[in-house]
Amino acid sequence: MAALSFCSSSPPRILHKQSKSSFFPSSASSSFTQTVGELFANPFSVSRRFRGAVNSTVVSDESGNAKLPSSPAKKLRNIMQSPGVLQGPCCFDALSAKLIERAGFPYCITSGFSISASRLGLPDKGLISYGEMVDQGQQITQSVSIPVIGDGGNGYGNAMNVKRTVKGYIKAGFAGIIINDEVCCENTKSERRVVSREEAVMRVKAAVDARRECDSDIVIVAQTDSREAISLEESLIRARAFTDAGADVLSVDSLVSREEMKAFCNVYPLVPKLANMLESGGKIPILNPLELEEIGYKLVAYPISLIGVSIQAMQDALLAIKGGRIPPPGSMASLEEIGEILGFDTYEEEEKRYATSSSDREVSSSSVYRNQRVAKDDPEQREDLIVEVITPEVYNEPRNPFSRIWSRSLRIKIIGRDGFEKLDVRIPAGFLEGVTNIVPVIDRSSKNSQL
How do residues 77-99 score in pLDDT, each as one tens digit? 999 999 999 999 999 999 999 99
pLDDT in the model for residue 446: 46
Q: Which pTM does this prediction carry?
A: 0.67
Q: Write b or e for each residue in 360-384: b if 16 or more Cβ atoms lie within 10 A of its Cβ, otherwise e.
A: eeeeeeeeeeeeeeeeeeeeeeeee
347 has pLDDT over 60:
yes
Helix (H) or strand (E) holding 251: strand 249-252
pLDDT in the model for residue 31: 43
CATH topology for the 72-185+192-312 domain = TIM Barrel (3.20.20)
* Residues constituting the chain: 451
**Is residue 259 packed enough to be buried (19+ CB in 10 Å), middle (13-18) or exposed (0-12)?**
exposed
Q: What whole-number distance in Å separates Cα of residue 55 and Cα of residue 35?
A: 24
pLDDT in the model for residue 66: 53
For the chain, percent of residues with pLDDT exceeding 90: 58
Q: What is the mean pLDDT of residues 256-271?
A: 97
Let me know how many helices (H) and strands (E) the chain has, helices first.
19, 11
pLDDT in the model for residue 65: 56
Q: What whole-number distance in Å separates Cα of residue 251 and Cα of residue 221?
A: 7
pLDDT in the model for residue 189: 52
Cβ neighbours of 193 (radius 10 Å): 15
How many Cα atoms are found within 13 Å in the side-chain-facing hemisphere of 154?
Answer: 23
Q: Which of 131, 213, 202, 204 is nearest to 172 (CA)?
A: 131
pLDDT in the model for residue 416: 72
**Is residue 150 packed enough to be buried (19+ CB in 10 Å), middle (13-18) or exposed (0-12)?**
buried
18 has pLDDT over 90:
no
Q: What is the mean pLDDT of residues 310-335?
A: 93
Confidence of residue 129 (pLDDT cuts 50, 70, 90): very high
DSSP 411: E
Q: What whole-number distance in Å separates Cα of residue 324 and Cα of residue 337?
A: 25
Q: What whole-number distance in Å separates Cα of residue 14 and Cα of residue 17?
A: 7
Q: What is the mean pLDDT of residues 106-110?
A: 98
Confidence of residue 262 (pLDDT cuts 50, 70, 90): very high
pLDDT in the model for residue 430: 57
pLDDT in the model for residue 148: 98
Of residues 390 and 355, the one with the higher pLDDT is: 355
Q: Which pairs from 32-37 meet CB under 8 Å and 24+ separation?
A: none
Q: What whole-number distance in Å separates Cα of residue 45 and Cα of residue 58?
A: 26
Task: For residue 189, give Cα distances in angstroms to 103, 116, 141, 184, 294.
Answer: 32, 17, 31, 14, 30
Q: What whole-number distance in Å separates Cα of residue 102 and Cα of residue 370?
A: 27
Q: Which of 270, 263, 225, 261 is nearest to 243 (CA)?
A: 270
Return phi, psi of residue 11, to 5°. Answer: -55, 140
Confidence of residue 329 (pLDDT cuts 50, 70, 90): confident
Contact 447, 435 (CB under 8 A): yes
The pLDDT mean for the chain works out to: 78
10 has pLDDT over 60:
no
Cβ neighbours of 344 (radius 10 Å): 14
pLDDT in the model for residue 362: 55
164 has pLDDT over 90:
yes
Confidence of residue 162 (pLDDT cuts 50, 70, 90): very high
Q: What whole-number distance in Å separates Cα of residue 215 and Cα of residue 213?
A: 5
pLDDT in the model for residue 71: 92
Q: CA triplet 50, 51, 53: central angle to 5 degrees? A: 60
17 has pLDDT over 60:
no
Contact 313, 338 (CB under 8 A): no
Q: What whole-number distance in Å separates Cα of residue 424 and Cα of residue 364?
A: 17
Task: For residue 123, give Cα distances in angstroms to 115, 117, 186, 402.
Answer: 10, 6, 9, 56
Return phi, psi of residue 299, to 5°. Answer: -120, 150
Contact 410, 431 (CB under 8 A): no
Of residues 376 and 310, the one with the higher pLDDT is: 310
Confidence of residue 425 (pLDDT cuts 50, 70, 90): confident
Confidence of residue 200 (pLDDT cuts 50, 70, 90): very high
Which residues have a Cβ under 8 Å from the Cβ of 304 and sit 6 or more positions away?
90, 111, 113, 114, 278, 279, 280
Q: What is the mean pLDDT of residues 262-267?
A: 97
Q: What whole-number distance in Å separates Cα of residue 183 and Cα of residue 194?
A: 5
Q: What is the mean pLDDT of residues 184-195?
A: 68
